[in-house]
A = this chain, B = another copy of it.
Amino acid sequence: MTKPVVDLTIVGSIGIDTIETPTEKQEEILGGSVSYACAAASFFSHTGMVGVVGTDFPQEFRDTWSNMSIDLEGLQTVEGKTFRWGGAYHENMDNRDTLFTDLGVFESFSPELPEDYKEAPYLFLGNIHPALQLHVLEQTRDPKFVLIDTMDLWINIAKDDLAKVISRCNMLTLNESEAQLYTGEHSLTQAAKLLLELGPEYVLIKKGGNGSMLFTKQDIFLLHAYPLDTFKDPTGAGDTFAGGLMGALAASGKTDKKAIREAMVYGSIVASFGVEEFSLERLKQLDRDEIEIRVAEFKEMCRI
């Protein structure tokens, strides 16, 4: 059997997380931006993962990814310990404190793309150091659409590198506070205007439970979040959203505004499932029919 062609390459962090919410604590669970993003994308397209784990990484976690048909040729296993992260959410679940960070093998990560990943038409540069994101971008062969995510740390300590890689991407995604931090503008529309000046055609600002806003120089698209009765763990929601978006966009084969709006809906809905449980627990049980049912319900909720 020939290996299926990778439509979408995703690079990012892989971590073993310990997470405390006001009601629950889970230790040593599967996390990391590329894990959430690939899991979400896998519902729609053939997705290749680029990341690093240590020799202590459990086979069970690897199996979780394989069972979701994520391509693992780009996954490096390096002698040493896998990146570990601990976080505790406040009562409102909107804010969290980092309890510990132990970089392990992630500290010297140099992402290398397998040959067929280089040809993938869609690329998602998940949240890692912008110099590494640039290194990935330089290995690719003229992708059709590149999305870049980042975080406050890189805005604070590597803004020049970040600006350089953003200028070469089609879409930048960041959350509300990061957009404000990057630009010094409280107004998101003003912040988006400045971010568009960096070069990307699209700026996607994530507002958690309050949805997201997609800006171009010409227009704005406003998307609510699917209203959940309860949710257990918001970790990775932004990565799941962006991964689902890119998976759905890759499946469409398109890059126009209409396709992007539709892909955002799919990303948002997959993320709404993801936060119902810790880690990938909900996503690994999820099927495409459940996604389609919630997408239809959600569209009805947004119909004026």
Contacts and interface: CB of A to CB of B under 8 A. Distances in A.
A92 B187 CA distance: 10
Task: Output the residue of A211, A265, A302 with the most chain B CB within 10 A.
Answer: A302
For the complex formed by this chain, how many copies does it contain in all? 2
B222 A301 contact: yes
Contacts of A219: 300-301
A92 B304 contact: no
Interface residues of A, number: 31
Contacts of A164: none
A254 interface: no
A101 interface: no
A187 B299 contact: no
A187 B304 contact: no
A229 B187 contact: yes
Contacts of A223: 224, 304
A224 B224 contact: yes
A256 to B, nearest CB: 14
A227 B188 contact: yes
Nearest to A94: B186
B224 A211 contact: yes
A221 interface: yes
A293 interface: no
A221 B300 CA distance: 8
Interface string A65-85: 000000000000000000000
A206 to B, nearest CB: 13
A230 interface: yes
Contacts of A229: 187, 189-190
Interface string A269-304: 000000000000000000000000000000111111
A261 interface: yes
A189 B228 contact: yes
Contacts of A187: 228-230
Interface in A198-239: 207, 210-211, 213, 219-224, 227-230
9 contacts: A187-B228, A187-B229, A188-B227, A189-B228, A190-B230, A211-B224, A213-B227, A265-B304, A302-B304
Interface of A: 91-93, 186-190, 207, 210-211, 213, 219-224, 227-230, 261-262, 265, 299-304
Given A92-B186, A189-B227, A220-B301, 7 more contacts: A187-B229, A219-B301, A221-B302, A222-B224, A222-B227, A223-B304, A261-B304
